[in-house]
């Protein structure tokens, strides 16, 4: 029997352990992803930044680099997250008196290699425009309201079920406005993952499945199949970059 999203022990997720495992010492593949993300958003906004761009990171978890990548372009950024410990972690990062944790500075150093990022003071900007809200990806209302969006290691890392993976991808894409740049990342062929004392489910996804899941919603779609293993139990990472098209896909 496959584990579904509702079966996972999200209330016991430990964000500090997760950050220590994955981000305290920056991994080569994450720095590569940040470069690709930075350059993609830079290309998308090369002809100018529209007024009042609103960004969303769906299933933000204990990872700030997707939100940091949106800072130069957005008037507001919303971090949506379901696990209560992660919500509390994100709120501390956004509202703490000294700003977000220094662990994220290494990722900002990669971002600021591009001129648009050098014009931003990240801690002040993050505290000014980022807000956190508890929400389940699978319960998003489908109203297309966001002008820029990210979803990192979420649709594939919450359930073993193909229907929940596909629904998660659709729910993310269905909240993006026409033409919205987006980035989505997935663990390739993941067998699940351990955080502290608890095991969390994953759907075994490959680059073809990511392409199939996104192409109906996207234009200018790029799939980067990154063969970097960071722990046993997966075969790499997949990064999808593109823009939301104007099509309304059937449920």
pTM of the predicted model as reported, rounded to 2 decimal places: 0.94
- Average pLDDT value for residue range 19-30: 94
Q: What is the mean pLDDT of residues 141-145?
A: 84
Residue-level pLDDT at 228: 67
Give yes or no for residue 1 having a pLDDT over 80.
Answer: no
* Predicted local confidence at residue 247, as pLDDT: 73
- In the chain, % of residues over pLDDT 90: 83
C-alpha distances in Å from residue 166, one per residue of 3, 55, 172, 203: 15, 22, 10, 10
Residue 234 has pLDDT above 90, yes or no: no
Tell me the average pLDDT across 154-171: 94
Structure tokens at 66: 């997707």
- The predicted-structure confidence for 120-138, as pLDDT tens digits, reads as follows 999 999 999 999 999 999 9
SS3 per-residue string spanning 53-104:
CEEEEECCCCCCHHHHHHHHHCCEEEEEECCHHHHHHHHHHHHCCCCCCHHH
Average predicted confidence (pLDDT) for the chain: 93
pLDDT in tens, 91-114: 999 998 989 999 999 999 999 999
| CA end-to-end distance (rounded Å), the chain | 25
Residue 246 has pLDDT above 80, yes or no: yes
Is residue 126 helix, strand or coil? helix
Residue 134 parent element (H or E): strand 130-134
Task: Give me the pLDDT at residue 189, please.
Answer: 87
Residue 141 has pLDDT above 90, yes or no: no
- CA 202 – CA 189 distance, rounded (Å): 9
Q: How confident is the model at residue 175 (pLDDT cuts 50, 70, 90)?
A: very high
């Amino acid at each position: 029997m496959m584990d579904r999203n509702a079966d996972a022990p999200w209330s016991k997720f430990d964000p500090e352990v997760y950050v220590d495992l994955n981000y305290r010492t920056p991994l080569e593949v994450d720095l590569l992803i940040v470069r690709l993300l930075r350059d993609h958003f830079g290309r998308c906004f090369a002809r100018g930044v529209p007024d009042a761009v609103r960004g969303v990171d769906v299933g933000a978890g204990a990872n700030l680099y997707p939100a940091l990548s949106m800072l130069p372009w957005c008037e507001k950024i919303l971090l949506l997250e379901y696990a209560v410990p992660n919500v509390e972690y994100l709120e501390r990062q956004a509202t703490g008196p000294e700003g977000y944790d220094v662990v994220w500075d290494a990722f900002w150093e990669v971002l600021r290699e591009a001129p648009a990022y050098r014009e931003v003071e990240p801690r002040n900007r993050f505290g000014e425009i980022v807000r956190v809200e508890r929400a389940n990806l699978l319960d998003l209302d489908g109203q297309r309201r966001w002008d820029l969006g990210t979803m990192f290691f979420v649709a594939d890392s919450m359930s073993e079920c193909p229907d929940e993976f596909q629904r998660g991808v659709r729910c993310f894409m269905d909240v993006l406005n026409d033409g919205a740049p987006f980035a989505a990342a997935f663990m390739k062929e993941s067998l699940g993952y351990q955080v502290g004392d608890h095991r969390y489910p994953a759907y075994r996804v490959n680059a073809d499945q990511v392409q199939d899941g996104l192409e109906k919603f996207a234009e200018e779609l790029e799939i980067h199949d990154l063969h970097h293993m960071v722990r046993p139990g997966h075969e790499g990472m997949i990064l999808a970059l593109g823009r939301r098209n104007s099509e309304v896909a059937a449920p």
